[in-house]
Structure 1
């Protein structure tokens, strides 16, 4: 994916939580948005039990109004 592809109607989302929480949030977001890219998990700076992942997402065609 090129940078210009990502700019078109794209939102960047950061998820922060335990691996189970971020997986559940990702699944819920995927119901509403088309997930174009998911980063690798990054460890939290303060607590090793938490992680951060970044998503690039666009509206699904069937949810646009």
Structure 2
């Protein structure tokens, strides 16, 4: 699946860390900044559900 994270760098980093608990992250894009003067950026993830989280 493709996931877009959008926020300030600290938010996207924390969310990416949390997602690794339930997803296998296959690819993380470079950060794409919003147009100035915005302080947010977006990153895109390619991920699949982790095998060890299925019951």
Q: What TM-score do the two structures reach when normalised by structure 2?
A: 0.90
Q: Which runs of 5+ in 1 are unaligned?
A: 1-10
Displaced runs of 4 or more, over 3 A: none
CA RMSD of aligned residues (A): 1.3
Provide the aligned length of Structure 1 versus Structure 2: 55
Q: Which runs of 5+ in 2 are unaligned?
A: none
Q: What TM-score do the two structures reach when normalised by structure 1?
A: 0.77
Between Structure 1 and Structure 2, which shows a larger proportion of strand residues? 2
Q: Which moved more, 1:24-33 or 1:45-54?
A: 45-54
